[in-house]
């Protein structure tokens, strides 16, 4: 797994991306050759190949970019064959016309429509054979990192289950090195528990361990084999704490294993004038570009809202921003005008009766959030960050959830890491889970991560994931 600008990129996803670049180039090249073979002979293949290099580059660039945006390389999910072909077909649909129009406008290569049609057929065939059969069944299975978990309690059990459920092609739990009492040994573990009489470094060498993860809640009282962990580290085996490994595994920071000392002494949480200036420039440019591109959709939405019930188009609601300062967040109105006539703040729920017919659609498509681009231009919000909550909810959540106020150290965002990683939250438990993603973003935020989250937002909008 690689770390690029504080974002962990799995080796699996990197390999898949490189393979997809090769598949796209190969598919387009074979499609060009096929069109030449079935053509009437008026077209020279050398001429086609010379002119076709530019559409090929555009086709490849758009393909892998849209694959990324549509979640083909998602860190937290294993795509089924049906899901893989569905997402790649959507990417092809968005790629077809830009490449076709580019070919007509800037080259003299003919038969571009047929070439793109054949390119799709070759692309799907190679994806099934190379990506899904050969790559997944052979190469990826050999790239698994061999993990040894120090601990045999509930934290170790939970970590093992999380690895098995979400990253079985990236990691393999070889076993557990015991640290807990006999009472804890009664916990059912899926991998063997090595004897504590065998030195930890010997287990690591004999089992060819790639990484060690310390999954113990309480580190005091001589629970951990500190000298043996140090020996493993000196011998070259990386040793990770549970919060650090969870960052890489799931892109979140687990609250139950997090301590104030880890926040104080650990890396991340970097602020500064240069970073703030770069983020502000990114916000201004992206907000203005989106407003220029999406104003027809916003105008049509305003008209439909007005026609449905004659009520106001926009809805302004007090939200908590950076450093706890409140502001009024602007949204398209998606609920009835009397939705909270009793003055009590409520989370939206599934099949909420307060939502209008137009509101149901614009919430599903995330169109109701577009007026928040004005909040971005005002400097009250950022394009990417933790979602702003209402003061009543913040007061309750800060009382019930430790470290909740940390999310207010950055500006709230129109979209965020929690929004692309977790479904809509409508309870304290949901808020706890989303906070784990928000803490990851606050700890690791960068312009590169912001770009990545915007790409992921495209997937969420296109497939309607997590909306209410």
What pLDDT digit, counting tens, does each position of 287-335 carry? 999 999 999 999 999 999 999 888 889 989 899 999 889 999 999 988 8
Nearest by Cα to 311 from 351, 338, 288, 289: 338
Residue-wise pLDDT tens digits, 291-300: 999 999 999 9
Assign 428 a pLDDT band (cuts: 50, 70, 90). confident
Look up the pTM and report it. 0.74
> Residue 429, Cβ neighbours under 10 Å: how many?
10
CA 325 to CA 158: how far, in whole Å?
37
pLDDT greater at residue 60 or residue 165 = 60
| 438 neighbors 416 (Cβ within 8 angstroms) | yes
**Closest listed residue to residue 450, CA positions, set 292, 280, 255:** 280
168 vs 166: CA distance, rounded Å: 6
For residue 142, the model assigns a pLDDT of 60
Question: SS3 of 9, please?
Answer: strand
147: which strand partners?
173, 211
Mean pLDDT throughout 411-427?
81
pLDDT for residue 283 is more than 90: yes
Q: Report CA dihedral (171, 176, 181, 182) to the nearest 10 degrees.
A: 120
- For residue range 10-25, list pLDDT tens digits in order: 667 778 888 899 999 9
Q: Within the chain, how many helices (H) and strands (E) appear?
A: 16, 10
Domain borders along the chain are 2-141, 144-250, 273-338+351-463
Residues 343-399 pLDDT 10s: 666 666 666 678 888 888 888 888 989 999 999 999 999 999 999 989 988 888 888
pLDDT of residue 261: 66
Superfamily of domain 144-250: NAD(P)-binding Rossmann-like Domain (3.40.50.720)
| Packing angle, helices 242-250 and 428-444, rounded to 10 | 90
pLDDT the model gives residue 36: 72
């Amino acid at each position: 797994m690689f770390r690029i600008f504080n974002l962990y990129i799995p080796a699996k996803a990197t390999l898949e991306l490189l393979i997809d670049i090769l598949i796209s180039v190969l598919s387009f090249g074979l499609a060009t050759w096929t069109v030449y073979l079935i053509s009437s002979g008026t077209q020279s293949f050398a001429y086609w190949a010379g002119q076709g290099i530019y559409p090929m580059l555009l086709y490849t660039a758009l393909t892998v970019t849209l694959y990324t945006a549509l979640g083909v390389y998602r860190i937290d999910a294993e795509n089924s064959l049906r899901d893989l072909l569905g997402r790649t077909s959507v990417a092809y649909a968005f790629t077809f016309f830009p490449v076709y129009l580019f070919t007509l406008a800037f080259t003299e290569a003919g038969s571009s429509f047929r070439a793109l049609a054949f390119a799709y057929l070759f692309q799907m065939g190679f994806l099934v054979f190379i990506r899904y059969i050969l790559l997944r069944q052979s190469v990826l299975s050999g790239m698994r990192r061999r993990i040894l978990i120090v601990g045999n309690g509930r934290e170790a059990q939970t970590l093992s289950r999380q690895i098995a459920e979400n990253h079985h092609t990236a990691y393999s739990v070889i076993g557990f090195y015991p640290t807990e009492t006999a009472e804890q040994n009664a916990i059912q573990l899926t991998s063997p528990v090595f004897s504590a009489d065998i030195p930890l470094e010997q287990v690591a060498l004999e089992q060819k361990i790639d990484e060690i993860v310390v999954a113990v809640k309480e580190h005091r009282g001589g629970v951990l084999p500190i000298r043996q962990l140090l020996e493993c580290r000196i011998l070259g085996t990386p040793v990770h704490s549970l919060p650090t490994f969870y960052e890489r595994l799931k892109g979140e920071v687990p609250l139950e294993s997090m301590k104030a000392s880890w926040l104080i002494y650990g890396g991340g949480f970097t602020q500064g004038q240069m970073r703030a200036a770069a983020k502000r420039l990114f916000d201004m440019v992206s907000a203005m570009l989106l407003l220029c591109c999406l104003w027809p959709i916003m105008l049509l939405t305003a008209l439909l809202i007005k026609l449905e019930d004659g009520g106001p188009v926009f809805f302004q609601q007090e939200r908590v921003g950076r450093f706890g300062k409140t502001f009024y967040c602007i949204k398209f109105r998606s609920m009835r005008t009397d939705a909270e006539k009793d003055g009590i703040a409520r989370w939206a729920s599934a099949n909420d009766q307060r939502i209008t017919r137009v509101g149901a659609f614009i919430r599903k498509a995330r169109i109701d959030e577009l007026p928040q681009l004005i909040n971005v231009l005002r400097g009250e919000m950022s394009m990417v960050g933790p979602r702003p909550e209402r003061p009543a909810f913040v007061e309750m959540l800060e009382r019930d959830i430790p470290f909740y106020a940390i999310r207010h150290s950055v500006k709230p965002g129109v979209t965020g890491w929690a929004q692309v990683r977790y479904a809509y939250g409508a309870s304290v438990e949901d808020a706890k889970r989303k906070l784990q993603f928000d803490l990851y973003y606050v700890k690791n935020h960068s312009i590169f991560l912001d770009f990545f989250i915007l790409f992921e937002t495209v997937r969420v909008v296109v497939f309607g994931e997590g909306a209410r």
